[in-house]
Chain A
Amino acid sequence: MAQRSVVIASPVGLHARPAAAFAAAAAAAAVPVTIRKVAGGDPVPAASILSVLTLGAACGDEVVLEASGDGADEVLDALAELLATDGTTHEATHEATDGAA
């Protein structure tokens, strides 16, 4: 079992675009990956955007990625890199039709 511990770098936490990018990358990976918070909680499938969101990992939280099988190390390196460097800035909200005044 390969393991990586990484601190969430995205200022919005593992939410929104960072969560979507992470889940999409995990879904495309050659081996199944799980993610859990170091602070506690069960591991959840990293390829599930809904599970990743429900994790509620905030900026600065430490998470553990785990996988086994061929290429697990490469997969985890790439995913850990994504979490550790995500510089996604806050984007405009979708509530584009907020009433004037």
Chain B
Amino acid sequence: MAKPSNEAFFWMLFSAGGVVAALLIPVQLFLFFIAFPLGWLQAPSHDSLISLVRMPLVRIYLFILCSLPLFHWAHRFRYTLYDGLKVKHLTGLIFVLCYGGAVVGTAIAACLLWTI
């Protein structure tokens, strides 16, 4: 029996990221990047927000929020480039740019959430 292609792994990350993005990003985006800047809701002060973010469970939540959706983007965008721009022949470069980008973003998230 042949081993299934490793594409299965990237699709798995895409799906996990898709679920996280679907459930969490709308409310997070709405609160922090629309409602607070427009004054529709009272934005938390720097001190209260940073003490919230420093809680271990919140650090983990934020790490998941900032890493899995990036892998969701990487996989989806990679295939959109293949099909939308017909550049499948550049597959090696696209692979590195997309998943590489997701890895870099995840690393930055990890550093920030470790030291904040």
Q: Do A and B bind each other?
A: no
